[in-house]
Amino acid sequence: MTTTGQRPETVTTSALRTTSPELQHRVEQFLFAEAELLDDHRYQEWLSLWTEDSHYWIPTRMTRTIRERHQELSPPGAGAHVSDDYDQLRGRIRALLSGIHWSEEPPSRTRRLLTNVRVDEHTDGTLDVRTNFWVYRSRLERHQDWFAGERFDVLRPAEDGFGYPYRIADRKIVFEQTTLLAPSVSIFF
């Protein structure tokens, strides 16, 4: 990962990946366990899945013509919904758990659905993982939000035996919406 939070692009020669069934299953089970931690509001345990040099980034998206489509997302360092390092993630969690985070008190009820998990493995064991997501959020009595998009994760093998096979080193979340109708982006994706 570079200092701007971007990683080198993985070049895939084919849309058909040749990931082993064992690796595919292990990655999917890790992602499902991570989603469960978030849906259950187990934020401290979720934070333990992240490396201390991690970056969590939700760039803004703009509608562009076909010729300009490569410029749809804001570049690193430009406007973003969220651009957090590990310490900022820890601060967000501290605020959520304090009970004074106005946009999450009372806490949202969420459900995360993950699909189309695609894995590219590097020789050092690092994984580039693309995942489609749909997140439902219900707040208070009648407020509901839906978020759909794609996540780009860099996973590293966990070397400390903390119970999970991977740690998250980088996450880029790309919403399908260019204008978010939700009043806040106060949950994790």
- Give the model's pLDDT for residue 81: 85
Mind listing the domains of the chain with CATH numbers? 21-175 (3.10.450.50)
- Give the model's pLDDT for residue 103: 79
Amino acid, single-letter form, for residue 88: Q
Q: By mean pLDDT, which of 7-16, 78-87, 101-110, 178-187 is the weakest? A: 7-16
- Give the model's pLDDT for residue 1: 47
pLDDT in tens, 37-84: 999 999 999 999 999 999 999 998 877 777 877 777 777 878 888 889
Q: In 3D, which of 12, 25, 35 has the Cα closest to residue 168? A: 35
- Give the model's pLDDT for residue 17: 74
Reply yes or no on whether the pLDDT at 11 is more than 70: no
What is the spatial distance between Cα 104 and Cα 81, in angstroms, rounded to a whole number?
A: 17
- Give the model's pLDDT for residue 161: 64
pLDDT in tens, 84-139: 999 999 999 998 888 777 777 788 899 999 999 999 999 999 999 999 999 999 98
Spell out a b/e string for 74-93, using b for 16 or more CB atoms within 10 Å of the CB, else e.
bebeeebbbbbbbeebbebb
Reply yes or no on whether the pLDDT at 4 is more than 50: no
- Give the model's pLDDT for residue 14: 57
Amino acid, single-letter form, for residue 128: D
- Give the model's pLDDT for residue 125: 93
